[in-house]
C-alpha cells in the first residue's frame, strides 16, 4: 500500500485526516504540515483522525514525539482517533501526545461512535460511565 494521507472538511467544524500505509518520519512531517495549514486557516474544535489503514514499525518514542510536536502546533480541539483496535500502538501514542498537550482525545473503533462523540458536548469522561 503506498504511503499517503487525505485531509478533508466533510462538514463545517470538522477536519478529517486519513493516513495510509507504513508511516515514516518524512511522510509524517508532510502530513503534519498539511494538516496544520488547514487547521490554522480554518480553526476547528473537532478532528477525526483515521489511522485504521496506517502501520508503524519505528520506535514508539519517535511516534510519541511526532504526536507531541503536532499537538503543540494545533489550536485547542477535540480529537477522535479511529483505529482498527482499541489497543493500537499507533493510536495509543497519538492519544497520549494529544492529551498531554491539552486536547480532549479518545480512541474509537466505530466511525459512527467517534462522529457522535465529536458532535456531542460530552467530554472523554462520559465514555467511561455506564
Name the grid cell of 17.
Answer: 485526516
Domain with 112, as residue range(s), is: 4-128
pLDDT digits (tens, 9 = 90+) for 39-95: 888 877 799 999 999 988 888 888 899 999 999 999 889 999 999 999 999 999 999
CATH at residue 107: 3.30.750.24
Q: Is the pTM of this model over 0.85?
A: yes
Q: How many domains does the chain have?
A: 1
Exposure of 36 by Cβ count < 10 A (0-12 exposed, 13-18 middle, 19+ buried)?
Answer: middle
Q: Quick one: pLDDT at residue 57?
A: 84
Q: Quick one: pLDDT at residue 23?
A: 86
Name the grid cell of 52.
Answer: 485504521
pLDDT digits (tens, 9 = 90+) for 29-41: 888 999 999 988 8
Rounded Cα–Cα distance for residues 61 and 6 (Å):
25
Beta strands at 14-22 and 4-11: parallel, antiparallel or unpaired: antiparallel
Amino acid at each position: 500500500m503506498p504511503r499517503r494521507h487525505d485531509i478533508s472538511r466533510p462538514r463545517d467544524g470538522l477536519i478529517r485526516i486519513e493516513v495510509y500505509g507504513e508511516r515514516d518520519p518524512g511522510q509524517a512531517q508532510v502530513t503534519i504540515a498539511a494538516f496544520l495549514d488547514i487547521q490554522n486557516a480554518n480553526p476547528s474544535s473537532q478532528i477525526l483522525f483515521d489511522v485504521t489503514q496506517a502501520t508503524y514499525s519505528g520506535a514508539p518514542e519517535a511516534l510519541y514525539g511526532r504526536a507531541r510536536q503536532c499537538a503543540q502546533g494545533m489550536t485547542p480541539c477535540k480529537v477522535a482517533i479511529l483505529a482498527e483496535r482499541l489497543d493500537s500502538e499507533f493510536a495509543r501514542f497519538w492519544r497520549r501526545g494529544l492529551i498531554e498537550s491539552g486536547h480532549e482525545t479518545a480512541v474509537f473503533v466505530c466511525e459512527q461512535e467517534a462522529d457522535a462523540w465529536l458532535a456531542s458536548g460530552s467530554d472523554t469522561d462520559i465514555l467511561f460511565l455506564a
